[in-house]
Structure 1
């Protein structure tokens, strides 16, 4: 795309269906590498990726050649298939519907990278739902509780 210049940084957050804690430490880095490949194959730039057993945070530099909804559909679809093909969980794996996408300026990136890299530390004192509500509040996004990620069962 000649003469098209962009700087779009997005933090993407999505959860395992029913928020079950099935992303194992034994294969989570393989999953992150697979997700990284999907992002690169669509010509976006992965900046940071990490998560917990029930959710993932990704920071990307996004190219305007694909819609965010198409990228998220591809990420979830392909990574679910990869997990299921490898039989990494005791039952059929899928991601919960929906996702969060939050934009940042270049000067904010290091703080977001640090936040993503330190997920385990953050979740010692804050649940995923509390974290997610905080994102929505900080970004001024109106929401209905019934449509947030489902709580742990």
Structure 2
């Protein structure tokens, strides 16, 4: 899990975002088959948009996502793509989620790596399930 540098014809970039987002009403819906399917959909979205998942932890009532992004896309655009597609597909596929007008809240937390290394953030995310 080293640094993921991007290279285009004119740009070399290292843009990593740590996102945290929750289902509406912080419901504990991200379990078993829903969690598995969420991970699959997220992986496809990231591949389609040239995002690289550095670390991911799916808790029953929130998600920690640490990803590398091209410099041309904003954090709010990343979340719009991720939350829009996963909400639509999960609500279509799982009957018990259909009553929700949207799977996710409109808000999210976002930070950049700043003075903390990518490895530190990835380790923090990996340790989330072991906390009480």
Question: Aligning the two structures, in what range does the TM-score lie when normalised by the shorter sequence?
Answer: 0.7 to 0.9
How far off its partner does 1:108 sit? 1.5
Change (3 A) 1:116 1:29: farther
Q: Is the 8 A contact 1:19 1:54 kept in 2?
A: yes
Q: Determine if contact 2:19/2:110 at 8 Å carries over to the other structure.
A: yes
Q: 2:14 aligned with 1:23, yes or no?
A: no
Aligned Cα root-mean-square deviation (Å): 1.9
Aligned mates of 1:79, 1:23 — CA distance in 2: 12
3-state SS in 2 of match to 1:27: helix
Between structures 1 and 2, the one with greater strand share: 2
User: TM-score by structure 2 length?
Assistant: 0.83
> What is the Cα deviation at residue 106 of structure 1?
8.8
SS at match of 2:117: helix
Q: CA deviation at 1:6?
A: 0.7
User: Secondary structure in 1 aligned to 2:13?
Assistant: coil
Q: How far does residue 26 in structure 1 lie from its aligned partner after superposition?
A: 3.2
Q: Distance in 1 between matches of 2:59 and 2:40?
A: 15
Give aligned pairs, total.
123
By how many angstroms is 1:11 displaced?
0.6
Show the counterpart of 2:125.
116
The corresponding residue for 2:113 is 104
Structure 2: gaps (5+ residues): 1-7
Q: TM-score, normalised by structure 1?
A: 0.72
3-state SS in 1 of match to 2:28? coil
Match of 1:150 in 2: none
